[in-house]
Amino acid sequence: MELEAKLHEIRKPIMVLGTSSGAGKSLTVTAICRILKNLGEFPIPFKGQNMSNNAWVDWEGGEMAYSQALQAFACGINPSAEMNPILLKPQGNSISEVIHLGKSIGTTTAQNYYKDWFMPGWEVIKKSLKSIYERYPNCRLIIEGAGSPVEMNLIHRDLTNLRVAKYLNANCILVTDIERGGVFAQIIGTLELMKPEEKKLIKGIIINRFRGDLSLFEEGKKWIENKTQIPVIGIIPWLNDSFPPEDSLDLLEKKARFNNAEIKVGIIKLPSISNFSDFDPLENEESILIDWIRESQNLSKYDFIILPGSKQTIKDQIFLENSGLSQDVRDYSNEKGNIIGICGGLQMLGTTLEDPYFKEGSKNHSDQKIKGIGLLPLKTTFSEKKLTRQINSESLWPCQSKINGFEIHNGQTVIDKIHNAVDIKPIFKDLDLGWYRENDYGGSIAGTYIHGIFENDNWRDQYLNLIRKGKNLPIVDKKTKSYKIKRESIIDNLANEFDKHLNISSLLN
């Protein structure tokens, strides 16, 4: 039976729309997912189409946006690519990789996307919804919109907002960010641009990021309700908990949260950075201060340097070379520096990068084979097919420990025997997941394909202890609170704050 015929039988979905990008849709969905889980419901997050290079890999090897994975954690369930059936991963120059149900199926320009991919996209969204309801008939979908639902030049081909809301006849919440100013115009303007049948779906309004005494907005609340005939179901105060940003540009706005930092970390801000949520566990360490490095400089002030993942490794390595940062990293290694590369960062630390299929940012034949930074004797050849999988392994360095994470990359990396490869050693029992070498001058140079490596608490603690030992700081033998437990605590705190200020019960019937 088609899903359309069964919609009257399912629990009413809740959809969170926003008056703009950055209004707080993602965290609102995360909070509602945990609130409903605590009420004994079975919530499942859903976002028809997302654009992000901050990805997660599910247990079947499917790619999805990290924000939907986080929402799945809030529901207490394993993330699945069906929760984010379309993922667009920007590659620069208005070109994006298109991922349907976790699998890469091509690339597109922004100009041609809706012409070539609109109907296939809508079909894969409907397929995902049908599959979710067939497997979990008692679930309640908590759906996240994207940007604004009333971008009039795009609304006829918008896959993510009102088309999904109308298809599922969802109870919709409109979220607006009062911190930006103009909250009344945002709400009224958004509703005025909706068709009557669309406006009827809006069952509640949330005022997000309110600073100060909530009672001061009582008159504003009454005005909105009288003008729109829609209840304001929540006024959410400004929250300080740190969450992975949806857009990597948000990283530039992060402020240091700890004043007693003993270790200073520099992360290279690559133009095509991906999977920046890899560093959330480090941001939760009170002993660490993180800086983002965007231009050539003396790196000696940092206790270790990280080269993060990249969506366009060749392009980013050319940037490092042209900007002088490659030489800065080499100089740093000669000063007893500690360096670790993750995924694309691992590849760039090697001697050679070869891109025969123009998959990793090569613009011409001269870019198809370039030199890496050259600190690890490794050569990488990029292939046509991407590898995506969950990882369960065991580390050999800096300690023996169980390791979980995931891979998501093009290319195969092997030891380059032309160069001195005697001192390079595997980090893991699975020999192709990472390598390290002790720096001739002290310190270490390491690289791994495992995203989420710092979420492994024992491994992270032991790596940080290597850094502390090099600084003559006392070794920390802490019974660390697991990062994943910390993440759960943050989600609980978020849900508790929303629950204090949000009347969700009217949307559940």
According to DSSP, the β-strands at 63-65 and 103-109 are unpaired
Mean pLDDT score of the chain: 92
1-51 residue pLDDT tens: 467 666 667 899 999 999 999 999 999 999 999 999 999 999 999 999 999
Average pLDDT rounded to a whole number, residues 117-123: 96
Q: Token match 């092997």: residue?
A: 414
Query: Phi/psi at 450 (nearest 5 deg)?
Result: -85, 110
Q: What is the pLDDT of residue 422?
A: 78
How far apart are alpha carbons 393 and 120 in whole angstroms? 37
Cis peptide before 237 (omega within 30 of 0): no
- The pLDDT > 70 percentage for the chain reads 94
pTM of the model: 0.91
Contacts of 312 (CB under 8 A, 6+ apart): 91, 92, 271, 272, 360, 361
- The answer to whether residues 236 and 46 touch, using CB atoms and an 8 Å cutoff, is no
Of 150 and 245, the structure prediction assigns the larger pLDDT to: 150
- The answer to whether residues 494 and 30 touch, using CB atoms and an 8 Å cutoff, is yes
If you ran DSSP here, which 8-state letter would residue 32 be given? Answer: H
Give the start-to-end residue ranges of the domains of the chain. Answer: 3-243+489-507, 263-472
Query: Residue 463 is which amino acid?
Result: Y
420-449 residue pLDDT tens: 777 899 999 999 999 999 987 779 999 999
Residue 377 has pLDDT above 70, yes or no: yes
Q: What is the pLDDT of residue 255?
A: 47
Q: What is the pLDDT of residue 242?
A: 44
Contacts of 169 (CB under 8 A, 6+ apart): 7, 12, 201
Q: What is the pLDDT of residue 238?
A: 86
Q: Residue 289 half-sphere exposure, CB side, CA atoms within 13 Å?
A: 12
Q: What is the pLDDT of residue 479?
A: 60
Average pLDDT rounded to a whole number, residues 221-243: 88
CA distances for 347 relative to 289, 435, 439, angstroms: 25, 11, 18
Q: What is the pLDDT of residue 49?
A: 97
Average pLDDT rounded to a whole number, residues 231-256: 62
How far apart are alpha carbons 304 and 327 in whole angstroms? 16
148-198 residue pLDDT tens: 999 999 888 899 999 999 999 999 999 999 998 999 999 999 999 999 999
CA distances for 281 relative to 56, 286, 389, 486, angstroms: 16, 10, 21, 9
pLDDT band, very low/low/confident/very high, at 240 (cuts 50, 70, 90): low
Topology classification of domain 3-243+489-507: Rossmann fold (3.40.50)
90-110 residue pLDDT tens: 998 899 999 999 999 999 999
459-508 residue pLDDT tens: 999 999 999 999 999 988 766 568 888 889 889 989 999 999 999 998 88
Nearest alpha-carbon partner for 65 in 106, 26, 15, 112: 26
Q: Out of 225-234, 253-262, 406-415, pick the least confident.
A: 253-262
How far apart are alpha carbons 389 and 385 in whole angstroms? 13
Q: What is the pLDDT of residue 257?
A: 55
As beta bridge partners, residue 307 has: 341
Q: Token match 């990789």: residue?
A: 97
Q: What is the pLDDT of residue 421?
A: 75
How far apart are alpha carbons 425 and 338 in whole angstroms? 16
Domain 3-243+489-507 and domain 263-472 have a common topology: yes
297-350 residue pLDDT tens: 999 999 999 999 999 999 999 999 999 999 999 999 998 899 999 999 999 999
Q: Which two tokens stand for residue 127?
A: 């397929």
How far apart are alpha carbons 368 and 381 in whole angstroms? 10
**E strand segments, 324-384:** 339-342, 352-354, 369-371, 378-381
254-275 residue pLDDT tens: 444 556 789 999 999 999 999 9
Residue 246 has pLDDT above 50, yes or no: no
- The pLDDT > 90 percentage for the chain reads 78
According to DSSP, the β-strands at 339-342 and 412-415 are unpaired
Average pLDDT rounded to a whole number, residues 49-67: 96
- Determine the 3-state secondary structure of 325 from DSSP: helix
Average pLDDT rounded to a whole number, residues 281-285: 87
Q: What is the pLDDT of residue 419?
A: 76
Tabulate helix, strand, coil % of the chain (nearest 5): 35, 25, 35
Q: What is the pLDDT of residue 251?
A: 40
Q: What is the pLDDT of residue 249?
A: 36
Catalytic residue set: 343, 451
pLDDT band, very low/low/confident/very high, at 60 (cuts 50, 70, 90): very high
Q: Which CATH architecture has domain 263-472?
A: 3-Layer(aba) Sandwich (3.40)
- Determine the 3-state secondary structure of 74 from DSSP: helix
